Amino acid sequence: MLEEVDIHDSTMIGMDDAKASHSIQGHLFLRNSRWVTHSRVRSLVGSHIHPCEYSEIIAGKITASGDMSVNESLVQCEELSLIGSNGILQSGDVIAENAVHIHRSKLSAHADSSMIAKSMHLSGQSHTRLKNSNLHLSGQLTT
């Protein structure tokens, strides 16, 4: 099992023809780096995805069963699902072209952070806390 990957000042671009699935089993730190893929990114229980220091993750669908924290960075995807995880936005932005699904998870958005999506769905005793941050939905919020 992969324990920790720390990527600095780099760019990773997925060029696969078929829709692949990237499974994160450990801790992935992106620092001033960019990861672009049209494929699915999935973090497993106990893992952590942490883009920071002006990094970008651009992906197809992101499913996080592990934790995800975004600090001074951008996460852009077709759809974001937090399942039994903690999501923290610290002065970062998350853009989901379609929906954000939060199930049995906690989402905290702090100052200078924003989340943009068509819709947001909260279920399974999820908890969302926004403090001096922005939530922009062009569709509906369901709980």
What distance in Å separates the CA atoms of residue 23 and residue 18, rounded to the nearest whole number?
16
Q: Is residue 104 part of a domain?
A: yes
Q: Is residue 41 part of a domain?
A: yes
2 pLDDT more than 80: no
Which residues constitute the domain of residue 123? Answer: 4-11+21-142
What distance in Å separates the CA atoms of residue 141 and residue 51, rounded to the nearest whole number?
26
All residues at 6 or more sequence positions from 132 whose CB lies less than 8 Å from its CB, including other chains: 110, 111, 112
3-state secondary structure (DSSP) of residue 38: coil
Tally of CB atoms within 10 A around 29: 18
10 pLDDT more than 80: yes
111 pLDDT more than 90: no
Q: Is residue 16 part of a domain?
A: no
Kindly report, residue by residue over 37-71, the tens digit of the pLDDT.
Answer: 888 899 999 999 999 999 999 999 999 999 999 99
Mean pLDDT, the chain, integer: 91
Q: Is residue 132 part of a domain?
A: yes
Count up the domains in the chain and report the number.
1
Q: What is the pTM of this model?
A: 0.91
79 pLDDT more than 70: yes
